[in-house]
Amino acid sequence: MPELPEVEHAARCLRAWALSGRILAVETDPRAERIFRPGSGAALARALAGRRVASVRRLGKHLLLELAGGGPLGLLSHLGMTGKWVRRLPGEPPPSHVRASLVLEGGAVLHYRDPRLFGRLRVVPGARFELLPELGALGPDPIAAGIDPVRLAALLGRTRRPVKVALLDQRILPGVGNIHASEACFRARIDPRRRADRLSPGEVARLARGVRATFDRALSALGAGEEIAYVEEGGENPFLVYARAGERCPRCRRAAIRRIVQAQRSTYFCPACAAGAARPAASASASRARASASRG
Ligand SMILES: [Zn+2]
């Protein structure tokens, strides 16, 4: 499933393929109207034809394209669960499940493919992205702006949800999805079932580093290649714990990775690492208790 690294990869691809290229024509799939809500495929095609892609930005899991050649116009692209931008050169057959095709000057075609139709393609009048409620609510981008551990601690401190579930809230660290929430907890040696408001400042700082590390790892694995296969599509699994239930933990080698369900989503973690991380605090309080018992 696309999370921040895959969307960043898409942004880089779109810049390489489309910057300053003119869009000659646009075709949309009439069976995929839900992708174009609240507009329509026909309105999107009319708005984009004749424009040039002036810039491609990313905020969390959203792609923000500004289009030149007329008044200011924006295009918001969210990849949903299975969305992907792919390019086909003249003469190459299109991929399956294409929902929108942008024919560029020179004949290359940018296809938005999305088998499950959870993605979005939305024209943004005036390129006023900041007026869209789904963007206005997002926190600062964890890669572009970095992760402030003090802000992260304040936001996690306000929720009693399990830390892994809290991390999926795009107001906190936009771009973290189900995969990287598990990965970040594992890297930070934090039990994903812990209450978010019970983490110590040191644990929150570890979590911030864990998020950054799992993103960096995924971004470097994506490289400069063009088409990527998501794990769910049978692509290689580059993750430490995600989708690895039953495999031996790559860190402690003592336990098997477990899959549990939190808020209807799969969570993967190592029970030995999670218990081990909690142990120092527990044994410290136990020794304090023993000390006070011997004094009394
Ligand atoms: Zn382990």
Would you say residue 290 lies in a domain? no
Annotated catalytic residue 134: no
Q: Is residue 288 part of a domain?
A: no
Tens-digit pLDDT profile for residues 23-33: 999 999 999 99
Statement to judge: residues 227 and 132 lie in one domain: no
Q: Which of 57, 88, 251, 265 is catalytic?
A: 265
84 and 207 inside one domain:
no
In contact, 252 and 276? CB cutoff 8 Å: yes
CA distance 42 to 268: 42
CATH number at residue 126: 3.20.190.10
Answer with the one of 136, 168, 196 that is the final residue of a domain: 136
Residue 55 has pLDDT above 60, yes or no: yes
Catalytic residue among 3, 6, 183, 203: 3
* Residue 119 shares a structural domain with residue 173: no
pLDDT in tens, 171-199: 999 999 999 999 999 999 999 999 999 99
Residue 144 belongs to a domain: no
Cβ atoms of 173 and 212 closer than 8 Å: no
- 221: domain CATH number is 1.10.8.50
Distance 186 CA to ligand 1 centre (A): 8
Q: Are residues 158 and 263 in the same domain?
A: yes
Q: What's at 201, amino acid-wise? A: P
Residue 43 shares a structural domain with residue 76:
yes
Q: How far apart are CA 68 and CA 51, in angstroms?
A: 6
Tell me whether residue 176 is in a domain. Answer: yes
| Cα–Cα separations (whole angstroms), residue 15 to 44, 65, 87, 104, 144 | 20, 10, 12, 13, 17
CA angle 129, 131, 137 (to 5 degrees): 90
What's the 222 CA to ligand 1 centre distance in angstroms?
Answer: 26
Ligand 1 centroid to residue 268 C-alpha, Å: 11
pLDDT digits (tens, 9 = 90+) for 127-174: 999 999 989 999 999 999 999 999 999 999 999 999 999 999 999 999
Whether 123 and 204 share a structural domain: no
Whether 120 and 19 share a structural domain: yes
How far does the centroid of ligand 1 lie from the alpha carbon of residue 206, in Å? Answer: 16
Catalytic site includes residue 38: no
Asked whether 272 and 252 are in contact (CB, 8 A), the reply is yes
Looking at the chain, how many residues does it have? 296
Residue closest to 84 by CA, chosen among 105, 66, 99: 99
Q: Which residues pair with 45 in a beta bridge?
A: none
Tell how far the Cα of 131 is from the centroid of ligand 1, in angstroms: 44
The catalytic position among 51, 58, 61, 189 is 61
**Residue 124 shares a structural domain with residue 173:** no
Q: Please confirm, yes or no, whether 212 is among the known catalytic residues.
A: no
Q: Are residues 132 and 175 in the same domain?
A: no
Sheet containing 62-68: give its strands across.
52-59, 62-68, 73-78, 120-125
The CB density around residue 77, as the number of other CB atoms within 10 Å, is 25
Q: Find the domain containing 13 and state its range.
A: 4-136
Task: Examine the domain organization and report whether 105 and 177 are in the same domain.
Answer: no
- Count the domains in the chain: 2
Are residues 66 and 161 both part of a single domain?
no
Cα(288) to centroid of ligand 1, in Å? Answer: 27
In this predicted structure, the answer to whether residue 285 has a pLDDT above a threshold of 70 is no
Q: Would residue 287 count as lying in a domain?
A: no
Distance of CA 65 to the CA centre of its chain: 18
Contacts of residue 214, defined as CB under 8 A and 6 or more positions apart, other chains included, come to 180, 183, 184, 187, 239, 240
Tell me: do 130 and 174 sit in the same domain.
Answer: no
Q: What is the pTM of this model?
A: 0.90
* Residue 220 belongs to a domain: yes
User: Distance, CA 31 to ligand 1 centroid (Å)?
Assistant: 46
